[in-house]
Structure 1
Amino acid sequence: MPGAGTPPPVPSGDGNPFAAPGEPVPPPPLSPEGPGQMPYGYQGRPGYPGYPGYPSHPGYAGYQGHGAPGYGWPAMPMAPANGMGVAGLVLGIIAAAGFCLWPLAIVLGILGVVFGAVGRGKARRGEATNGGQALAGIICGAVGIALGVGVLVLLLVVPDEETDVGTSRGDPGFSATVVVGRS
């Protein structure tokens, strides 16, 4: 703090007390768009009668504030619809792994092929991102169908050995009679 006897700073000719006397003050910096140009979407807000308008927030192009119409956030992209491909893969794997349960394997294999084909179509249209999973569902579903049909044919063609054993050898099987021994 200057003492009581120190005179206050003398402003230069342009009114700037911090500039050296007689030196010109540089102009304020300009924006990259040039002087007076506003960035895209920078509209400000209108003022009240008799008062000037208020500019938008300088850091956010298009910011209108307090409910004024303007530019909002861009829409979020749609999430990929991968459910059909995943369902086809899961059903195809269950059909191929559970081929011993041939009726269930055939039904699940058909569903796996159908869901996999629908998922593959969505992937081709760009609605899904799992075309490989959908193709694997088609393949596993087809394998499950083939194995289920193979087990069905095996059960129908191969003769049952339990019923043929007793009649082919002449053995009547077990007897329910009791043999009493001599004493």
Structure 2
Amino acid sequence: MPPPPIAPDGPGQVPYGYPGAPAAYGYPGRPQPPYAGPYPSAGGYGYGWPGTQPMPSNGMGTASLVLGILAAVCFLLWPVALVLGVLAIIFGALGRGKAGRGEATNPGMALAGLICGGAGIVLAVGFIALVIAAGT
């Protein structure tokens, strides 16, 4: 069923609670910019509700742990393990720094990535030494 036709002078009375409409009574609320939706975080003046903290950025710690585990597991592919281990140590250090400043909530995951990345590097270097010793 199609919507009813609109009068030539406009839609008339706006229904109660329509987004962007002025409040009929009480506190008028904050003005909405023309591109914002009906909710405060939908492109308005900031992120989330007022008084809330921003979401933690835990990507560095997570990336460090994943790369560290891959470096430790794939040590037989020693060039890949060395690169992954170095990246895990770098991302782990950055993740620990973010956690120390309060921007992230996973300092343990970043530390585990540092440890696994170091273990991957040690295993890869040990494998290279074993191959060189066995070849002579």
TM-score relative to the length of structure 2: 0.65
Alignment of 1:15-94 (within 5 A): 57=26, 63-64=27-28, 67=31, 74=50, 76-94=52-70
Give deviations 1:49-95, integer Å, cap 9, x for gaps.
Answer: xxxxxx952xxxxx22584xxxx851542110100000000000000
Q: Secondary structure at the match of 1:118?
A: helix
Q: Does 1:140 align with 2:104?
A: no
Q: Does 1:118 align with 2:94?
A: yes
Q: Does 1:153 align with 2:113?
A: no
Q: How many residues align?
A: 98
Identity %: 56
User: Larger relative contact order (C-alpha < 8 A, sep ≥ 6)?
Assistant: 2
**Residue of structure 2 aligned with 1:106, choices 65, 72, 82:** 82
Alignment of 1:3-22 (within 5 A): none
Question: CA RMSD, aligned part only?
Answer: 2.3
Letter aligned with residue 107 of structure 1: V
Letter aligned with residue 116 of structure 2: C
**Structure 1 residue 114 displacement after superposition:** 0.5
Structure 1: distance between partners of 2:57 and 2:30:
37
Structure 1: unaligned runs, 5 residues or longer:
1-54, 58-62, 161-183
Letter aligned with residue 156 of structure 1: I
CA shift in 2, pair 1:64/1:148, >3 Å: same
CA shift in 2, pair 1:96/1:66, >3 Å: closer
Give deviations 1:8-57, integer Å, cap 9, x for gaps.
Answer: xxxxxxxxxxxxxxxxxxxxxxxxxxxxxxxxxxxxxxxxxxxxxxx952
Structure 2: unaligned runs, 5 residues or longer:
1-23, 32-39, 41-48
Structure 2: distance between partners of 1:115 and 1:66:
41
Runs of 4+ in 1 over 3 A off after TM superposition: none
Q: Secondary structure at the match of 1:158?
A: helix
Structure 2: distance between partners of 1:111 and 1:94:
11
Name which one, 1 or 2, has greater alpha-carbon Rg: 1
TM-score relative to the length of structure 1: 0.49
Q: Secondary structure at the match of 1:78?
A: coil
